[in-house]
Structure 1
Amino acid sequence: MATCTHDHLSRYGGLAVGHQEEQKRYFNEKRLYALQIETTDACQQGCMFCYAGSEQRERNGLTSDEIRGLLDDAALLGIRAIDWLGGDPLLRRDWYELMLYARSLGLSNNVWTSGLPLQHMDVAEKVMEVTDGGFVSVHVDSITPDVYAALHRGGNPNFIDAIVEGVDNLQALGKPHDMMINCITYTSEQGPEDAIRTMRWWFEEKGMRTCLTMFNPAGMGAAWRSFEPGLDEVKRVYTERDRINYGDDSISIAAMDTDKFYCGTMATVTFTGDVTPCSVIREGVDNIRRRPFREIIAAHMPTLVHAKLHEATHMPAPCDSCENNPHCWGCRASAYHYNGDADGLDPKCWLIRERQ
């Protein structure tokens, strides 16, 4: 369907398609552009490595009043977008009403779903409505049934076709292909060949780019250290991700899943109320059930947006002199989980090895 044209990373790497300059301004001002809200831990897919520890049925979740309070605070803080996470946010009974409320406050909705609920056309129609101007991400780690089954508890390869049907539903309703993403959590269990095949399939058949997330030993993934990929395979699969997503430019965001403008202008509220810099960093600076969100942001903004790293000269060597500094600063979650310092070096960036 799509051809690999000379797309610029600045258009797609930050995910805020159409709002890149505004997001960069927020980055320079060290402010929050997006708030990720985990509304539930319920998810049907059963990913073995889930960083959130999602369950088949909801065990943890924010109340509707808590979420509305977060949305009110987000609007007051000048936040522009809500990224709805889970679990699968479309499994909440009141997801549609909450997203409508966000829109009434002038907030854009971005939905990170397994993709399974979208096979029901009535759900797809509502998602189409509430994400006008925002993006939708689905999650198919592999289009190879055997590989998919090995990566999921229960291993139901029929989920692949169900998610593809949901994507077809949204695109038939008019959702632009460049406002849809497939998300892969990359593990050594999958390997580079299959990940590359899957990324190419989504781009060529559905016109969708891939958000390639690095496996981190968090949540359920903490028990699967053997899933950690090595640098050589990381280099191969992420280099090909850059080529598929962004064309033949020499630029790279290395082992990051998005550029620094997205990562450096967001915070997450987990389904237990913790406020963290990233959904993959599960330890919070505080909890909204102890302290109002707006007060947490006032007290901890520099930590949440990694403020000192917004100046490239403050990056640890050799990152401080990397030619990719204009858009990359390494994955903060990988730095945290593999090196113990969210502001330190990303040990999954092969460019560091080549420069040391």
Structure 2
Amino acid sequence: MAETMISKPIPDSRYFFDRYISPNKRYAAEAMRPRIVDFELTSKCGGACTYCYASSPYFKGADMPTEQALAVIDDLAEMGVSQVQWCGGDPILHPDWQEIIGYAGEKGLANSVFVAGIVAPRVAQALADTPNIHLVGINFDTVDEEDFMLTHTLERVQGMKYKAFENLRNAGFHPSRIMPCLTLTKPAARSIERTLDFLVDEMGAGYVPMFVYHPIGEGGATELTPSLDDIRRAYAYRAEKLGQHWLRVGPTECGRFYCRSKFHVTWDGRVLPCAVLYDFEVGNVNRKPLREILESQSKQLCYDFEVTGECATCDDADVCWGCRANAYFYKG
């Protein structure tokens, strides 16, 4: 089943956009019943990024205990969550990642695994063999070597990311199921056109998520913040490559319904409404079962509030409402 899924091409980038605004996402948002979770298994990472919102140590850190991760998965399945996005830290650095993600697949959860980009052939094959993995995301910011080193501490990591694409394809992943994920810093914006050309035209990416840099964690350097012109240019060029519909959600990236139908669990058990909103913890699975946290904190997790300002009157407010993290970090 896994081989059939990962080798099947995703039609085009419109597929992802339509999933973001699907009737199921609309219902989940309005009913405040999350369907998606970002789940950290570990704080360890080998990406060597200087902008890391999670401040992940380079190949050091701590893991969520396997038993606890399995218990959280049981809660997710019971609550009707349908998709897990394994993030990090790098999930494949957890010693039991295959057991944990495989268990989620056995429980009927769809899995997307987002890695730093260091994927050896044996790991690529393990990802291909794990049940119900739909895609693998790879952090990939720029093709430019100088721009890369402005936001990373190790030059060799860039070459490893290219090799990761190759290893995943050799393991059976269709190119459209290898998702390059880009953090839009000022250095990355300088070479964004060349980067998108490479990812779409040469690597065959069906969609390239671009997340505007937030000054949080180790990434507190304001000189990495892209200008508004940088952001407009980047998203306009992506729309040229992948479709004008992406301009409807802009730097929100996922639209209002997807945003309201997901939440985040950190490696140490904190429950957040968004991966980068570390100041908005609503509970911890070490102290209270996840289902109880969601029942009592659903309004905060699902953003049950009235949007004001320019986002409220935007022509695209039917599918987008801005980004809470952008508003928090850049507007206070």
In the TM superposition, what is the alpha-carbon distance from 1:244 to its structure 2 partner?
2.1
CA distance in structure 1 between the aligned counterparts of 2:69 and 2:130, rounded to whole angstroms: 16
Structure 1 unaligned regions, length at least 5: 1-5, 309-313, 341-356
Q: Which residue of 2 aligns with 1:322?
A: 314
Q: Structure 1, residues 162-184: CA drift from partner, whole Å, max 9, x if none?
A: 22222122223332333221111
Correspondence for 1:344: none
- Separation in structure 2 between the aligned mates of residue 29 and residue 7 of structure 1, nearest angstrom: 29
**Further displaced range: 210-219 or 21-30:** 21-30
Distance 1:133 1:259 in 2: 23
Equivalent residue, structure 2, for 1:160: 158
Query: Per-residue deviation at 1:159?
Result: 2.3
Tell me if 1:269 matches 2:268: no
Structure 2 gaps, min length 5: 1-10
* Identity value in percent: 27
CA distance in 1, matches of 2:246, 2:96: 44
Report the Cα distance in structure 2 between the residues aligned to 1:49 and 1:249, rounded to whole angstroms: 29
| Structure 1 contact 42–58 (Cα < 8 Å) conserved | yes
Distance 2:196 2:235 in 1: 11
Per-residue deviation at 1:133? 5.5
For 1:1-356, list aligned pairs within 5 A. Answer: 9=14, 11-13=15-17, 20-116=22-118, 118=119, 120-130=120-130, 132=132, 134-153=134-153, 155-156=154-155, 158-190=156-188, 192-208=189-205, 209-222=207-220, 224-245=221-242, 247-249=243-245, 251-283=247-279, 284-308=281-305, 314-340=306-332
| C-alpha distance after superposition, 1:200-231 (max 9, x if no partner) | 21000111121101110111112x12211221
Q: Distance in 1 between matches of 2:17 and 2:56?
A: 26
**Match for 1:273: what amino acid?**
G
TM-score with structure 2 length normalisation? 0.89
1:5-53 CA-partner distances (Å, limit 9, x unpaired): x9564x223767xx94433332332221111111111111211010000
Residue 264 of structure 1: how far off its partner (Å)? 1.5
Give, in whole Å, the separation in 2 of the partners of 1:79 and 1:198.
Answer: 34
Q: Write the distance in 1 (CA, Å) between the matches of 2:18 and 2:52.
A: 23
TM-score by length of 1: 0.84
Coordinate RMSD, CA, aligned: 2.1
Partner of 2:7: none
Q: Distance in 2 between matches of 1:299 and 1:273?
A: 17
State the alpha-carbon separation in 2 of the partners of residues 136 and 23 from structure 1.
Answer: 22
Distance 1:148 1:302, change over 3 A: same
- Partner SS state of residue 32, structure 1: coil
Q: Match of 2:253, as an amino acid? A: D
The question of whether the paired residues in 1 share the 8 Å contact of 2:48 and 2:58 is answered with yes
- How far apart, in 2, do the equivalents of 1:254 and 1:42 lie? 31
Distance 2:23 2:122 in 1: 34
Give the CA deviation at 1:262. 2.3
Q: Distance in 2 between matches of 1:36 and 1:14?
A: 20
Q: SS of the counterpart of 1:134?
A: strand
- What is the SS of the residue equivalent to 2:137? strand
> How many residues are paired up?
320
